[in-house]
Amino acid sequence: MKLQSLNDQELVKLYIAGNELVLEELLKRHKSKIYTSIYLLVKDSYLAEDIFQDAFIKVINTLRSGRYNEEGKFLPWVMRIAHNLVIDFFRKEKRTPVITSSDGTDVLNTLQFHDESAEERMLRDQTGTDLKQMIRLLPDEQKEVLIMRHYADLSFKEIADLTDVSINTALGRMRYALSNLRKMISAKEMATGIK
């Protein structure tokens, strides 16, 4: 029996049944796509490799424990695990990647004032911190698209491919993310009395 001719679902069943060799085929088949999606978010090859390995350890543990039930959706399931690990990493680090514009400057730092007073500088720094905190509050699917689009500078087609959704779904998630951020900013301004 050639493992290459089997689909992911058949390979997973064989692995759960005790065939350790199929894991190598699943890895070979999907490593590039999963690793690349992690790398595009963390932009560090060593960290991406660590997160990739952590993701596959979770995959192996879940398969061995009999808790896998993503029938026919192996790759999206692994991608979700990997992306959750990336988000966990950023949460642990208490940092969010910098939002950069096409020329490589930090968008949050381009809100420069001519002769910035200490108060204006504090307000600008606080705005950047508040925005990053608000991004953390978004639902995972919206946060993921926002991070991939603005931090990793991916096209909506690339985002759709990496998250295994249609381009329209990726665009919709981005629209909701921006809408939710606007609502949070408005609510904060109303709460603090800032116009």
Phi, psi of 106, deg, nearest 5: -70, 120
Contacts of 53 (CB under 8 A, 6+ apart): none
* Residue-wise pLDDT tens digits, 21-54: 898 898 888 888 888 888 878 888 899 999 999 9
pTM: 0.52
| Predicted pLDDT at 113 | 37
